[in-house]
Amino acid sequence: MTGQLDDPRWVRLATTHFSQLTPEWEMKMEYILSDDGSYRFQAPDRLATFCATNGMRLHGHALIWFSQGVKAFAGLDQARFAAAYDHYIATVAGRYRGRVASWDVVNEAIAEDGNGLRDCHWSRALGQDGYMIRAFEQAKLADPGAVLFLNDYNLENNPRKGATFLRTVERLLRAGAPIGGIGTQSHLDIDIPAGQTAAFMRDAAAFGLPIHVSELDASLNSERRLDTRSPGQKLARQQARVTELAQAFSDLPAAQRFAFTVWGIRDTDSWLRRGERDDGRDSPLLFNAAGRPNPMFGALADGFQS
Q: Which residues contact 11 (CB under 8 A, 6 or more apart)?
A: 4, 5
Helix or strand or coil: residue 9?
A: helix
Kindly report whether the peptide bond that precedes residue 62 is cis, defined as omega within 30 degrees of 0.
yes
28-57 positions binding ligand 9MR, by CB under 6 A: 28, 30
**Minimum CB distance to ligand 9MR smaller for 186 or for 247:** 186
Give the DSSP letter of residue 266: B
Dump strand ranges (E) for 141-250: 147-152, 181-184, 187-189, 211-219
3-state SS string for 30-43: HHHECCCCCECCHH
Distance CA 76, CA 124 (A): 12
Q: How far is the CB of 282 from ligand 9MR (least distance, A)?
A: 14
Helix or strand or coil: residue 131?
A: helix
**Minimum CB distance to ligand 9MR smaller for 39 or for 271:** 271
Q: How far is the CB of 303 from ligand 9MR (least distance, A)?
A: 22
Q: Pick from 39, 41, 207, 271: which binds ligand 9MR (CB under 6 A)?
A: 271
Contact characters 120-159, ligand 9MR, x per CB under 6 A: ---------------------------------x------
Give the DSSP letter of residue 293: B
**Minimum CB distance to ligand 9MR smaller for 55 or for 275:** 275
- In DSSP terms, which residues pair with 23 in a beta bridge? none
Long-range contacts from 3-8, C-beta under 8 angstroms, 24+ separation: 4/269, 5/46, 5/47, 5/50
Q: Pick from 143, 189, 215, 244: which binds ligand 9MR (CB under 6 A)?
A: 215
Q: How far is the CB of 121 from ligand 9MR (least distance, A)?
A: 17
**Minimum CB distance to ligand 9MR smaller for 30 or for 191:** 30
**Minimum CB distance to ligand 9MR smaller for 215 or for 267:** 215
Q: Which amino acid is at 201?
A: M
Q: How far is the CB of 132 from ligand 9MR (least distance, A)?
A: 16
Q: How far is the CB of 185 from ligand 9MR (least distance, A)?
A: 5
Distance CA 72, CA 269 (A): 30
Is 287 a binder of ligand 9MR (CB under 6 A)? no
**Minimum CB distance to ligand 9MR smaller for 111 or for 301:** 111
5-24 positions binding ligand 9MR, by CB under 6 A: 24
Q: Pick from 11, 25, 46, 207: which binds ligand 9MR (CB under 6 A)?
A: 25
Contact characters 176-205, ligand 9MR, x per CB under 6 A: ---------x--------------------
Q: How far is the CB of 26 from ligand 9MR (least distance, A)?
A: 9
**Minimum CB distance to ligand 9MR smaller for 69 or for 247:** 69
- Contact (Cβ atoms closer than 8 angstroms) between residue 263 and residue 217: yes
Distance CA 298, CA 253 (A): 23
Q: Which amino acid is at 106?
A: V
**Minimum CB distance to ligand 9MR smaller for 24 or for 86:** 24
Q: Which residue is nearest to ligand 9MR (CB)?
A: 271
Distance CA 142, CA 92 (A): 8
- Contact (Cβ atoms closer than 8 angstroms) between residue 94 and residue 138: no
Q: Which residues bind ligand 9MR (CB under 6 A)?
A: 24-25, 28, 30, 153, 185, 215, 271
